[in-house]
Amino acid sequence: MTHIISIQSHVAYGYVGNRAAVLPLQRLGCEVTAINTVQFSNHTGYGAFTGEVFTPSHLKDVLDGVEALTGLKDVQAVLSGYMGDQGIGRAVLESVSRVRAANPGAVYCCDPVMGDIGRGFFVREDIPAWMRDCAVPAADIVTPNQFELAFLADHSIRTLDDVLTAAACLREHGPSVVLVTSLDIDDSCSETIEMLVDTEAGSWRIATPRFDFPVAPNGAGDFTAAVFLACCLRDEDGITGEGPARALERTAEAVHALFTHTWQAGTRELAMIQAQNEIVSPRQRFDAEWVR
């Protein structure tokens, strides 16, 4: 069974961070060890929240206990998301190093959460440069949105060629797979949302219908990174060649199913429970387009 360590935030109410990642990973057949970087009542987008931010030593202590109990040789991947500060980030990379020492074939998937188009950066000032210089080079898979990709590659993005150039720039610095979780470029259709996966072997693009939510639900990026990682690990081709193309399709289908149920429920939170069966067996299929 695929075993993934997911190091992310946790909320008691709603679906962001580990709450948006663990359930889909489990429904896709993965064993998940969740290490939480915070415990909040709800995500910060509500404005008011309660809870506690955990220290880097807390993360290390939890991983120490997991390693003492089970060892880390059976861990196939580490997944990380939002990092509140560099201390947490360094603890995450130390965890990745410990897993790789036990299993050199383990994959690190980094969702470089930093900002978005229209919002700009929403993390501490020192996080973007640290993410670019330390976290992304250590990763095998990265899942930036378009805004994050442009910063990490130091390349403005307006066209498909810009996206491919920026993704290739990231791959030159470490990752072998780049999943761009949102595209809004010159030939994009306003009625769809798009993703693109780029590898040395090729690049593929996919579009699904857009939902005009009154308030965009939080946690979709966390969900997307988790599903994509699970689909890559399940693919016999691994994380090169045709593997990411099919993983892209599976991920787009799962995201569309989740958004469909969220739209139908009329809630601000992702309708994770309602969509769980379609995460595994989506009703609607989408085909990825080869672009390079």
End-to-end CA distance of the chain: 33
E strand intervals along the chain: 3-11, 31-40, 51-53, 77-80, 107-110, 115-116, 120-121, 141-142, 177-180, 192-199, 202-209, 289-290
* Structure token digits, residue 263: 């739209």
Give the amino acid at 15.
Y
CA distance 131 to 76: 22
Q: Per this entry, what is the length of the chain?
A: 292
Strand partners, 51: 40
Reading the chain (292 residues) residue by residue, the pLDDT tens digits are 799 999 999 999 999 999 999 999 999 999 999 999 999 999 988 999 999 999 999 999 999 999 999 889 999 999 999 998 999 999 999 999 999 999 999 999 999 999 998 889 989 899 999 999 999 999 999 999 999 999 999 999 999 999 999 999 999 999 999 999 999 999 999 999 999 999 999 999 999 999 999 988 999 999 999 999 999 997 644 444 458 999 999 999 999 999 999 999 999 999 999 999 999 999 999 999 999 8
The count of structural domains within the chain is 1
CA distance 233 to 235: 5
Q: What is the CATH number of the domain that holds 245?
A: 3.40.1190.20
* Structure token digits, residue 165: 């150039």
Strand partners, 33: 5
Q: What is the pTM of this model?
A: 0.95
Q: Enumerate the H helices of 15-143 as residue ranges.
A: 18-27, 56-70, 86-102, 127-130, 136-138
Q: What is the pLDDT of residue 235?
A: 60
Q: 199: domain range? A: 2-290
* Structure token digits, residue 267: 């809630």
CA distance 53 to 193: 33
